[in-house]
Amino acid sequence: MRWRTSGFAYALLLAGQTLAASALFWIVFPVFHEIVTNLGERQEMPPSQQLAVLGSAAFLHLCYWIRLQWVPIVAPFHSVFLGHVCAFASRISFIFGGALFSILFFRHLPSLHVMPPLSRTAFSTVEVIAILFGLYCYSRELDRLATAIEEPRV
């Protein structure tokens, strides 16, 4: 099918991934800030925010896996410098995910003796892993794009 190799499908899926990753940063950053500024206090996220986070993570995964399975990367241009900028953006995008995980892990590690119910712990763990894995997949996508941009025209 021609639509898959035209570049439009790739651009649309990359834009979807970028939108979802940006939404995750936008929603989770205030929570991250609260965790850092109020260490030791339990932080609750409203159900609407949790739903938005889960929806963004699911949309990020959906765009990534569709692109990976069916749509080849189409570099819009070739430039070593801009390829490096894209690779840099890839690394930066995952630093936030690593920082979030570190804060959550070290914030909750001392209080493991007072565990919430198992179902809540399991849901929260799956939620954090889905976010982190989604951000990892997005950083891999940016790495692949950077490689395609850096390659000389054939």
The pLDDT tens digits of the residues spanning 113-143 come to 566 677 777 887 888 899 999 999 999 999 9
Q: Is 75 helix (H, G, I), strand (E, B) or coil?
A: coil
pLDDT of residue 149: 97
pTM: 0.85
pLDDT of residue 106: 64
d(CA 84, CA 46): 39
pLDDT of residue 11: 96
pLDDT of residue 115: 65
Burial classification of residue 42, based on how many CB atoms lie within 10 Å of its CB (0-12 exposed, 13-18 middle, 19 or more buried): exposed
pLDDT of residue 21: 95
d(CA 77, CA 52): 34
**Residues of the chain predicted below pLDDT 50:** none
pLDDT of residue 78: 95
